Structure 1
């Protein structure tokens, strides 16, 4: 192989791998109270909000036909644990099983109200964990 062909092949490989390193636009963003507090500001554009939080679950309008975006996320986590013991005597056998389960649920609701120019005029959020 010639040096020129090796360089071209190497550069194409770099371009291919560089393309793989870009972020996926379809990726779901992790919404947290910290993200809302640090990213969302009064006067921010709708495009800026979408970049920071992703697409809202609900888009509606208020009584003056101004857009309102609602992000409503719920996550559940359940952990099951079990233990068992088995003992045997020449003829008799015994078995014992016990287990427990814990579950947690988190909800995050974010409401963002825009003005006529699609700039943030107000926002509120609520986070619960139980």
Structure 2
């Protein structure tokens, strides 16, 4: 009888440890898969580094190649950078110990999806230098 009670206690302790060790928060999963490269185009980068009077080559060195190149009514170049970012996080936890203790496997999960857009418009003068720029950012 004493040996059975000790075995049951060990199963309960192992089960509780499995439950506490198996759960990972969605924020931890997000941190593990998040893109942290420094080459991202952000509003801060545009505000900090794009200046009136810059050459097209300087703009490319900061922002990369534009998505769209067009001209205005005076045949001056207009560059458009249109960036869309989708972030999807899914977290799943399962209770392995519940299989041992109550004969079933419990699982739960959560997911979150968000999108961000950033549009940058760079207008050049007749000499090919930045005369104006604008940006718009949205999140949903």
The TM-score normalised by the length of structure 2 is 0.65
Aligned residue number for residue 47 of structure 2: 37
Higher RCO by CA contacts (8 Å cutoff, separation 6 or greater)? 2
Please identify runs of 4+ aligned residues in structure 1 that moved more than 3 A: none
Q: Which of the two has greater helix per residue?
A: 2
Q: Deviations over 1:37-90 (max 9, x none)?
A: 11111121111111121111111111121110001111111111112223346x
Question: How far apart are residue 115 of structure 1 and its match?
Answer: 1.1
Are 1:77 and 1:104, in contact at CA under 8 Å, matched by a contact in 2? yes
Ranges in structure 2 where 5+ consecutive residues have no aligned partner: 1-37
Aligned residue number for residue 70 of structure 1: 80
The CA distance in 1 between the partners of 2:70 and 2:47, in whole Å, is 23
Are 1:29 and 1:54, in contact at CA under 8 Å, matched by a contact in 2? no
Aligned residue number for residue 58 of structure 2: 48
Asked if 1:87 is matched to 2:99, the reply is yes
The TM-score normalised by the length of structure 1 is 0.69
Q: Which of the two has greater strand per residue?
A: 1
Ranges in structure 1 where 5+ consecutive residues have no aligned partner: 1-27
Aligned residue number for residue 111 of structure 1: 121
1:94 match: secondary structure: coil
2:122 match: secondary structure: strand
The CA distance in 2 between the partners of 1:88 and 1:103, in whole Å, is 34
Change (3 A) 1:96 1:48: same
